[in-house]
C-alpha cells in the first residue's frame, strides 16, 4: 500500500504549551487511521497544521510524496485534502444545499465566474442534492442552515467533506455532541466511506473508533505514544496506563 500522508518530526507550541511534540504519523491509501487522546492532547491542532490553517514550528508534512508543509490552505484543498470541523463550521446564513453546493463548486478550480446564477447551474445542484441524500438530509435542502439541529449539522459537515471528493479526509470528532442514535447513524455513514477515501479520524467515542479503524494512534501531550491495530492498542500497557485505564 502506498503512503498518502506522511508526517515527520512535527512540532508546534503555543507559548509554553507543546501542542504537537515530535509527532510522526502516516496514513496509507484507503486506510482509516484514528487518532485518540485526552482533551487538549493536540488533536485539533494536528488537523489544523495538516490543512494549513496553522503553521508548524518545525517538521515536515508530505502528501502523496509532495512536501506541503508551507503550502497555503486553499492550495492544499486543491491537491485533495479536506477537513471537517469539531465545532460545526457552516455558513449559517445560507441554505443547506447552498453550503453543499459551494463544496462541489470548489472543485472547479476557480470561481471567478460572474454571469450565470449559481443556483441555476444544474450539475452543481444535482450533485449537492445527491450528497444530501447520502447523509439523509435531502428533505431539508432548502431550509436555512441555522434552522437545523446539531446532529444534522454534523451530517452536513460530512456531506461537505464528501463534496470536496478529497483523497484525504481529516475528520475532527464527527460524533461530538451526538446522541446514541445519531452516533449510530454516523458510524454507518463512516463505514460506508471506509476504503473509498483515506481518512484520518479523530474521535472520543471508543466503541466507534475500535469498530471502524484500521490503525489507531494514541496522542498524549502532543506526542504519539503508540500506533497499531485496534487489538494491539487495546492490549498496549502504556496506553492502558495513560489513557484507556482511566475509563
Ligand X SMILES: Nc1ncnc2c1ncn2[C@@H]1O[C@H](COP(=O)(O)OP(=O)(O)OP(=O)(O)O)[C@@H](O)[C@H]1O
Nearest C-alpha neighbor of 170 from the set 2, 47, 41: 47
Q: Is 86 in the site for Mg ion (CB under 5 A)?
A: yes
Q: Give which of ligand X, other proteins, Mg ion, none residue 188 binds (C-beta under 5 to 8 Å, depending on kind).
A: none
Residue number, 3 or 90, with CB nearest to other proteins? 90
What is the x/- site pattern for other proteins, positions 130-149, by CB under 8 A? --------------x-----
Kindly tell me which residue out of 114, 181, 237, 246 binds other proteins, with binding defined by CB under 8 A: 114
Residue number, 82 or 86, with CB nearest to ligand X? 86
Cell of 182: 445519531
What is the x/- site pattern for Mg ion, positions 101-140, by CB under 5 A? ----------------------------------------
Query: Cα dist. 79→15, 51, 149, 209 in Å?
Result: 32, 11, 32, 27
H-run or E-run covering 24:
strand 17-28
User: Other C-beta atoms within 10 Å of 115: how many?
Assistant: 4
Q: Is 95 in the site for Mg ion (CB under 5 A)?
A: no
Contact 13, 59 (CB under 8 A): no
Size of the site for other proteins (CB under 8 A): 39
Residue number, 92 or 211, with CB nearest to other proteins? 92
CA atoms within 13 A on the CB side of 4: 20
State the helix-helix crossing angle for 150-163 and 122-134, rounded to 10 degrees: 130
Q: Is 44 in the site for Mg ion (CB under 5 A)?
A: yes
Cell of 37: 487522546
Distance CA 210, CA 230 (A): 6
Using CB under 8 A, which of the segments 15-23, 75-83, 184-192, 238-246 binds other proteins? 75-83
Smallest distance from ligand X to CB 66, Å:
25
Amino acid at each position: 500500500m502506498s503512503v498518502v500522508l506522511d508526517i515527520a518530526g512535527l512540532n508546534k507550541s503555543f507559548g509554553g504549551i507543546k501542542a504537537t511534540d515530535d509527532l510522526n504519523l502516516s496514513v496509507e491509501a484507503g486506510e482509516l487511521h484514528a487518532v485518540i487522546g485526552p482533551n487538549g492532547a493536540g488533536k485539533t491542532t494536528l488537523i489544523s497544521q495538516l490543512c494549513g490553517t496553522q503553521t508548524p514550528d518545525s517538521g515536515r508534512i508530505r502528501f502523496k510524496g509532495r512536501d506541503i508543509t508551507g503550502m497555503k490552505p486553499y492550495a492544499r484543498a486543491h491537491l485533495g485534502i479536506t477537513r471537517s470541523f469539531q465545532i460545526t463550521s457552516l455558513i449559517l446564513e445560507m441554505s443547506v444545499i447552498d453550503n453543499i453546493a459551494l463544496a462541489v463548486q470548489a472543485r472547479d478550480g476557480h470561481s471567478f465566474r460572474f454571469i450565470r446564477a449559481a443556483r441555476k447551474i444544474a450539475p452543481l445542484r444535482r450533485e449537492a442534492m445527491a450528497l444530501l441524500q447520502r447523509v439523509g438530509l435531502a428533505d431539508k435542502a432548502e431550509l436555512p442552515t441555522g434552522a437545523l439541529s446539531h446532529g444534522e449539522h454534523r451530517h452536513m459537515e460530512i456531506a461537505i467533506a464528501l463534496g470536496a471528493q478529497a483523497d484525504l479526509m481529516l475528520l475532527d470528532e464527527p460524533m461530538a455532541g451526538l446522541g446514541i442514535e445519531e452516533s449510530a447513524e454516523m458510524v454507518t455513514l463512516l463505514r460506508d466511506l471506509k476504503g473509498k477515501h483515506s481518512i484520518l479520524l479523530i474521535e472520543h467515542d471508543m466503541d466507534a473508533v475500535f469498530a471502524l479503524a484500521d490503525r489507531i494512534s494514541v496522542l498524549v501531550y502532543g506526542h504519539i505514544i503508540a500506533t497499531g491495530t485496534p487489538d494491539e492498542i487495546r492490549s498496549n500497557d502504556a496506553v492502558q496506563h495513560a489513557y484507556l485505564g482511566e475509563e
